[in-house]
A and B are shown apart, each in its own frame.
Chain A
Amino acid sequence: MVAIRTENLTKIYIRKHLFSSKKTNALENLNLEIEDRKVFGLLGLNGSGKTTLLKLLVGLLFPTKGSVYIFEQKFPHLSLLSRIGYLPEFPCFLMYLTASEILHFYGKLYGLSTKEREKKVEETLDLVDLKENRNDRLADFSKGMLERIGMAQVLLHDPELLLLDEPTSGLDPLGIKKMRQTILRLKEEGKTILLSSHFVTEVERVCDQVGILHKGKLKRIIKMRGLKVSLEDLFTETVSEAV
Chain B
Amino acid sequence: MAFTRGFHGRRRSDVDPARLPPGQYETNAFPVLSAGPTPHTPLEEWSFAIGGALGEARSWTWEEFTALPSETVTADIHCVTKWSKLDTSWKGVPVDVLLAGTEPRGRFAVAWCDGGYTTNLPLEDLTGGKAWVAYQYGGEPLAPEHGGPARLLVPRLYFWKSAKWLRGLNLADQDEPGFWESYGYHNRGDPWKEQRYWSD
A associates with B: no
A-side residues, CB < 8 A to B, are none
